[in-house]
Amino acid sequence: MWNGNFKTSLASLRDSRWRTFFTMMGIIIGISSVVTVVSLGEGLKYQITAQINQLGPNVLTVRPGKLTSTGSLSSLYSFLAPSTLTPKDASGLRSISSVRNVAPVEFVTSSVRDGNSQLDNVFVAGSSSNLGTILNQPIAYGGFFSDSDQTDNFAVIGSAVAANLFGEFNPVGETMQIDGQDFVVHGVFTPSSGSLLSLSQADLNSSIFIPTTAAESLTGGRTNILQIFVQLRPGSDVNSSVAQANRILSQNHGGANDFTVLKHSQLLGVSDQLVNAATRFISGIAAISLLVGGIGIMNILLVSVSERTREIGIRKAIGATNRQILNQFLAEGLILSIGGGIIGIGFSYLINLLLRLYSGWKPIISLPVLFLAVSVSVAAGIIFSLAPAFKAARKDPIDALRSS
């Protein structure tokens, strides 16, 4: 029965192939945008996870603001607010016995000049020399600055910055300008697959690190510490260290609870939540186009039903039951939506490829997303063709036969 329906439905869809194509277009756009957004989120999560794992399990992260485990969006806002962390917190943390290294990350600026060219989407941060050991990212040329370099205008740059400013050459020893001051390139990182700071979207490849003292002279002492990395000694108890860190920070802040100390596992959870929230929000918007596509299918099927009233009458006269007519139009709607879904998935693979080739994004299309896309298009097909199919099935055979 279904076999026959699909055959006749395909024939009638082939008859008006332009109409079929444009009807599918709605579903194609809807499915491909949802799949792309979700795959971008997946890719981001993958990068962040890789970075956090690179830091290792014995690195704690201290962030400004209170991160709750449920309100992931409120943590987004706290990220935008001015930081509550101070250099005093960093030195306080250094006094804990189980701590090996402490590295605060201060945001400085986002643009850098080299004579005539300017880069605007970089992440310039001040930090201590310990960051080099904590980041665990190999250096391609030169090296990370040391403690004795704190007052010098040195910079360690990511691979993308190096490529954009200095091209193919080894840039160590070259000069660039940050906020009007000259900085000498001290080291270049190897290309990294992860983004640097778990919650900010900054990419290690487009980051520039300068010594804390130099950073403070640039910002005029108004430090904005995005986070503090705390590396523990190997084999020390993570939980007791977290408790100690909390105690010291809360003393520094006069009892105010405006900071968060995160373990490795919590960091993963928080970043997942944040990305998930953003992905859900954007794919919700994308799903509206899916809704529009579904309504398009309904519209076209309604037109098709009234155009084929006589055909419905003939089919009923020779013995088609209402159910069989219903199935025929349901099959037509399903072909439109599933076909659109499959083409949409193909389309999102194409977008994926283009993004990987021409942008820094690395989207990942996972199996669950594909499953979701297919089931959503099946559901849309059934939901939006039910009304036209019922309309067709309920037609009175005599009236239908009389219509031309």
Site residues, another protein (CB under 8 A):
1, 3-4, 8, 11-12, 15, 310-311, 314-324, 397-398, 401
Residue 4 beta carbon to another protein: minimum distance, rounded to whole angstroms: 5
φ/ψ region of 173 (left if φ > 0, alpha if ψ in -120 to 50, else beta) reads left
Task: Count helices and strands (H / E) in the chain.
Answer: 13, 12
Residue 396 beta carbon to another protein: minimum distance, rounded to whole angstroms: 8
Residue 11 beta carbon to another protein: minimum distance, rounded to whole angstroms: 5
CB-nearer residue toward another protein: 161 or 325: 325
CB-nearer residue toward another protein: 303 or 401: 401
CB-nearer residue toward another protein: 93 or 400: 400
| 304-310, long-range: CB < 8 A, 24+ apart | 304/12, 304/329, 304/332, 304/388, 305/329, 305/388, 305/391, 305/392, 308/12, 308/392, 309/395, 309/399, 309/400, 309/403, 310/400, 310/401, 310/403, 310/404
Residue 314 beta carbon to another protein: minimum distance, rounded to whole angstroms: 5
Q: Show the CA angle centred on residue 88, arms to residues 82 and 93, nearest 5°.
A: 110
CB-nearer residue toward another protein: 197 or 393: 393
Residue 296 beta carbon to another protein: minimum distance, rounded to whole angstroms: 23
CB-nearer residue toward another protein: 87 or 397: 397
Residue 5 beta carbon to another protein: minimum distance, rounded to whole angstroms: 9
CB-nearer residue toward another protein: 102 or 320: 320
C-beta neighbour count of 255 within 10 angstroms: 7
Residue 24 beta carbon to another protein: minimum distance, rounded to whole angstroms: 20
Distance CA 271, CA 182 (A): 35
CB-nearer residue toward another protein: 14 or 222: 14
DSSP string, 232-279: EPTT--HHHHHHHHHHHHHHHTTT---EEEE-HHHHHHHHHHHHHHHH
Q: What is the DSSP letter of 133?
A: H
Residue 15 beta carbon to another protein: minimum distance, rounded to whole angstroms: 6
Residue 395 beta carbon to another protein: minimum distance, rounded to whole angstroms: 11
Distance CA 356, CA 350 (A): 10
Residue 158 CA, chain-centre distance (Å), reads 21
Distance CA 364, CA 50 (A): 14
Distance CA 131, CA 129 (A): 5
CB-nearer residue toward another protein: 3 or 70: 3
Distance CA 213, CA 154 (A): 11
Distance CA 362, CA 352 (A): 8
Contact 149, 211 (CB under 8 A): yes
CB-nearer residue toward another protein: 182 or 307: 307
Distance CA 282, CA 67 (A): 22
